[in-house]
Amino acid sequence: MAKRVVLAYSGGLDTSVAVRWLQEELGVEVVALAVDVGQGDDFEAVRQRALQAGAVESVVVDAKAEMADDFVVPAIAANVRYEGKYPLVSALSRPVIVRHLVAEARRHGADAVAHGCTGKGNDQVRFEVGTRALAPDLDILAPARTWGMTRADCIDYAARHGIPVEATKEKLYSVDENLWGRAIECGALEDPWAAPPEDAFTLTRPSATESRDVVIGFEAGVPVSIDGRTPDVASLVTELNTVVGAYGWGRIDMVENRRVGIKSRETYECPAALALVTAHGDLEDLTLERDLAHDKARLEPRWAELVYDGLWFSPLKEALDAFFASSQRHVTGEVRLSLTPGADGGVGSCVVSGRRSPVSLYDHGLATYDAADTFHHSDAEGFVRLWGLGVATWASRQGGPGAT
């Protein structure tokens, strides 16, 4: 039985209750670990809340830059969209937290880690598979899977034990947020027919009234500039969330296939993520050779699926990262995004309106139909004949389609 456990601590209801429950029910010492991945919390208040709940130590780690550089950048390289839609807002932050869970377990001499996930969700998979990949010797505790308490029960438990929580029984939504976006669940959102209420959104509330352009610069696939300025990646993402979100753009409403086999209605806000993936993919159209681009597009959904399924630390994910990193060597240039406000204060638009690169594979002389045309049209006849030779031979010998 574990004696000391490092708990992935959010400061919310479930993990605050878990601090006391792990002590009372399992008799373990709890070290609370809060990892700042850009959720915008008051982390000193979070740290104090863990201590008031009974943690023997409360640790806060600033991992915003780490998440941006080590997790968001590879996701952009992979043009990440799980099931063609979702840029992995929550899924990208979990391996960041796992890294620090394991590191703190080693630092504090813990023999286990713990999380506050339920048995229905994806995050239990991400925390546990990731931990076993990095530290297979550590035990993993999941109190929310075993304590049998409802949300209301947890609120009552916190009240009885004097655990300071901000949750109420009337809370409308469950929100998970980081610098890459917001995931919003529960309440009215559990009905897949009902339109998402406007009060569910914070990043994408329309406020812009004028159209504008934003120019994103990339070097070797990494976003390095916005309108000529060169902030770090985390700051660039944060700024782009504000700029693009002001147009009401960047919402996703989808029915998603969870790893555990449940279909779940999910609502996301990720203006920066969608804008960057859109811009990056467009720049690749300009700079990647045809066969490389086609095979990369074929592998991108697999990368997204691996990360969604909690396999960030896995051999196939590592191999795909190497392939994608190689593909990004010449993905350098700028993409112009044009932002337009919606009618009557509604959802606006964000579209690519231009792209340029010092290593562009676009050749105006080859592409144009005007007098500057440098394409040798006479070469095409032999090429087309040879390209279709196999089909022509088949048709002449076996009668072609429909032959008996």
How far apart, in whole angstroms, are the C-alpha atoms of residue 188 and residue 186? Answer: 6
Catalytic residue (one of 20, 47, 123, 282) = 123
Give the residue from 114, 120, 165 showing the smallest Cα distance to 142: 114
SS percent in the chain: helix, strand, coil, step 5: 45, 20, 35
94 carries an active-site annotation: yes
174 carries an active-site annotation: yes
Give the residue from 55, 59, 2, 62 showing the smallest Cα distance to 27: 2
Contact indicator for 17, 158 with CB cutoff of 8 Å: yes
How far apart, in whole angstroms, are the C-alpha atoms of residue 186 and residue 205? Answer: 20
123 carries an active-site annotation: yes
- Tell me the H-state helices in 151-289: 151-160, 233-245, 271-287
Catalytic residue (one of 10, 14, 16, 49) = 14
How far apart, in whole angstroms, are the C-alpha atoms of residue 158 and residue 14? Answer: 9
Catalytic residue (one of 174, 314, 349, 360) = 174
Residue 214: which residues within 8 A CB-CB, separation 6 or more?
A: 226, 227, 240, 243, 244, 275, 336, 337, 339
Catalytic residue (one of 20, 47, 49, 94) = 94
352 phi and psi, to 5 degrees? -75, 130
Contact indicator for 201, 251 with CB cutoff of 8 Å: yes
333 phi and psi, to 5 degrees? 155, -165
The number of angstroms, rounded, from the C-alpha of 257 to the middle of its chain's C-alpha atoms is 16
Amino acid letter, residue 387 = W
Give the residue from 79, 125, 82, 135 showing the smallest Cα distance to 105: 135
Q: Hey, which residues are catalytic here?
A: 14, 94, 123, 174
